[in-house]
Amino acid sequence: MSSHRLMWIIWPAFLVAGVLEILVFSMVDPQDLQWFGQPVELSRQAVYTIAFFVFWGISVLGSGLTTLLSMSPFEVNRCPLPADARPDGCPKQGPC
């Protein structure tokens, strides 16, 4: 995967995670959170940080899936090896 395409995935996911962080924690106080009936014993900053990375990860999955679904079948199925080094079953036609 090219670095250009990777940025198509990571950068929008970062922005969405920031917006989700603002929306969620404008309505939820981290000190009021509970995990399996027990209060979360983390600082507010730790909860904000963990939640941001969870939101970012979920957004990366969504952006990655969108990028994958927008690829042509040739891009998805192409063999990255040169034509003379391809194993059996790897398509022999088309440039890599």
Q: What is the residue extent of each domain of the chain?
A: 19-71
Give the per-residue pLDDT at 63.
Answer: 93
User: Which one has a higher pLDDT value, 47 or 4?
Assistant: 47
67 alpha carbon, distance to own chain's centre: 11
Q: Name the pLDDT band for 96 (thresholds 50, 70, 90).
A: very low
Torsion of CA 36, 42, 47, 48, to 10 degrees: 160
User: Which one has a higher pLDDT value, 33 or 88?
Assistant: 33
Q: Name the pLDDT band for 94 (thresholds 50, 70, 90).
A: low
pLDDT mean across residues, the chain: 86
CB 17 within 8 A of CB 59: yes
Distance (Å, whole) CA 24 – CA 13: 16
Give the per-residue pLDDT at 83.
Answer: 73
